[in-house]
Structure 1
């Protein structure tokens, strides 16, 4: 059983815990994970799972992942698993004997291995950190998983750079070797190349800006990809919201709480024009001269059309999360609350569970309450939800 006293050095005579594991144990404890719990919860039943995973971007990459990894998985009597960005297992493959053993701990398609649900494990911790992770047997937070070791690597959207899932190899302690990590890294990169080949190039031909979950927006215009500064990201976000344009004074009001910053706006706009070009940013008033799609406006359209599932998947984080510009703060809060309200009212436990597992929604007590009300009394997720409600209240 994990003993958090061990994060300071040694626990029960074992060697010092690796920092990445100690930090994960602390997060698991804070989330209320119970080390003695035997199984991971099933959050996507078979009927819902089939529709969900065929609509997920990683569906397009599965043939590549299987081609690269499947024989190696069989040779070492391990399991290949692919999780979505929420830690839900979309695919699990391997020998029937290995799958049978794994199902005893709930390591099966449709189950959740989010770190905040089942504690330290390679796919869940890799998603939490956004980087590759190895977890040996006793490093798992839950006792039932101590017979397994696992290695996982995140898979990123090639356009936005956001994590959309993870590829994982789970088996005996013999898989914890550098070759396993190298193989999974290569497989993840091939999956990202396949996503680029099959879906992203058509999007990249148009002008597009991505600013959800990042402080510096990425702007794609034709063949150019521009990384905007945080201040230029704020200005572009304001101009996207006002296609007819804004005066310099209006931009200054949107950027600063007082008039003290107005003198710097003109210089910032001149620098932005030099970055974008006169053919993209016009003046009198300042406006974008190209049809610029944006990830947050796409999300708004999905939300307005009632496609909550795709809207939730597209929300990789708040709009320019650390911006203090009044105009951006208002846009960010309106978008976040609109999505939060729709999720709370949707009546779908899977979407509520996905929402509450995100760091920007972990303290949404009304969403946790809605989730608890929908889940049956026997559901492990209900106990998790009730624990979070008590902590927040």
Structure 2
């Protein structure tokens, strides 16, 4: 099917969805979910709404603070020449959907200006509807949005392919890379290309991180040689550079607020924390336990559609950790099933394949690094007697929007298990 016929079919699908009819061909699940979110927010499908552009000063500040600036040369080398030759543009946006960089064919850049697809523009899904910048940020996966799959009618002459970028140093979403152009110039392989390039960008960030750890290790080793007892040196994200007197581990989970003085960590107990150039020296106290006590209260905060945390409080103090999308899913599924779930059952929920239990076990082993003593296995569950509280979004439809787990989908629809 050529692009014109495909656009015509998609227009019929969109029109049917907006009027509550059943189309002959349904929208793709990722597009249907996006349309549902946008409709609930009351966006007008026939009106092109644009937010205020960032000022030049605001744009430069966001560029300076973005981790994507570190890999912008790699993105340019991989995408700009291809985009320019194919009459496309490359767009790089931050986690709020603000366009920070934009390069490519000059004629297409002028067309993009007419759509409001310009530097400093807000292309969140909640602002402009389904699109190749905002929708991948919500779905946390690569998404191609072709013609009438865009929610707003004035964007139907456009096609976008965007892929989110995650910082391997802390697992956080840092932005999205998008290739866009007129609908008759987009190739079906564009999404795969963009996704591959973002994986290369993440690999470059990982390589830079390893180099930083090596420098920290060089600084730390002479210091650790003079320390008796246990000590570990970590970078700001908890990655271990060097250790003495204790078993090494790849990474320690650090609380959101962390600084010099004293801190309680689930994997080490009470610690003295000293600053180092590019990291921290942690010296555990002999008297500190490493597990949360029986009276611990666990609060799983899923109220935001894009950022989630788990907090634990008890007699030894409090601690908060920001969750990855996968860990937020797992903890929600365990909180919803006090009796516990097997690894196979969790794999069936997450992937639709009980045979992927090994993947689930690996993820839960990472979760247990920061919830020491609070999670038990066979089946996986919160320790008996633990006070687990879940804070849900005001709108159930905003619960973990990137998740396809069966229980999460039912909860978003307001259906019980």
TM score, norm. by length of structure 2: 0.54
Q: Does 1:158 align with 2:168?
A: yes
Q: Secondary structure at the match of 1:122?
A: coil
| 8 Å contact kept, 1:234–1:255 | no
Q: Does 1:225 align with 2:250?
A: yes
Q: Does 1:68 align with 2:78?
A: yes
- Distance of aligned partners of 1:40 and 1:248 in 2 relative to their CA distance in 1, 3 Å threshold: closer
- Distance of aligned partners of 1:178 and 1:238 in 2 relative to their CA distance in 1, 3 Å threshold: farther
| 8 Å contact kept, 1:155–1:163 | yes
1:235 aligned partner: 266
Q: Deviations over 1:156-179 (max 9, x none)?
A: 101122211111001123455442
CA distance in 2, matches of 1:240, 1:118: 48
CA distance in 2, matches of 1:62, 1:183: 16
Higher helix share: 1
1:254 aligned partner: 296
2:47 aligned partner: 37
1:337 aligned partner: none
Mark the runs of 5 or more structure 1 residues left unpaired by the alignment.
211-217, 258-315, 334-359, 364-393
- Distance of aligned partners of 1:115 and 1:203 in 2 relative to their CA distance in 1, 3 Å threshold: farther
Q: Which has the higher contact order (CA 8 A, sep 6+)?
A: 1
> Equivalent of 1:77, from 61, 82, 87?
87
> Equivalent of 2:103, from 93, 102, 106?
93
2:256 aligned partner: none
Tell me which moved more, 218-227 or 141-150: 218-227
Give how far 1:66 is off: 0.7
Mark the runs of 5 or more structure 2 residues left unpaired by the alignment.
1-10, 218-232, 243-247, 254-263, 274-283, 300-305, 322-390, 395-417
- Distance of aligned partners of 1:180 and 1:40 in 2 relative to their CA distance in 1, 3 Å threshold: same
TM score, norm. by length of structure 1: 0.57
> Equivalent of 1:56, from 66, 69, 74?
66
Q: Secondary structure at the match of 2:266?
A: helix
2:114 aligned partner: 104
- Distance of aligned partners of 1:101 and 1:178 in 2 relative to their CA distance in 1, 3 Å threshold: closer
| 8 Å contact kept, 1:126–1:154 | yes
Paired residues, what number?
A: 267
CA distance in 2, matches of 1:332, 1:226: 16
Q: Does 1:171 align with 2:185?
A: no
| 8 Å contact kept, 1:159–1:200 | no
2:332 aligned partner: none
Give how far 1:77 is off: 0.8
**Within 5 Å, which residues of 2 pair with 1:278-297?**
none
**Within 5 Å, which residues of 2 pair with 1:118-137?**
118-137=128-147
CA distance in 2, matches of 1:133, 1:328: 45
Higher strand share: 2
CA distance in 2, matches of 1:329, 1:130: 33
1:293 aligned partner: none
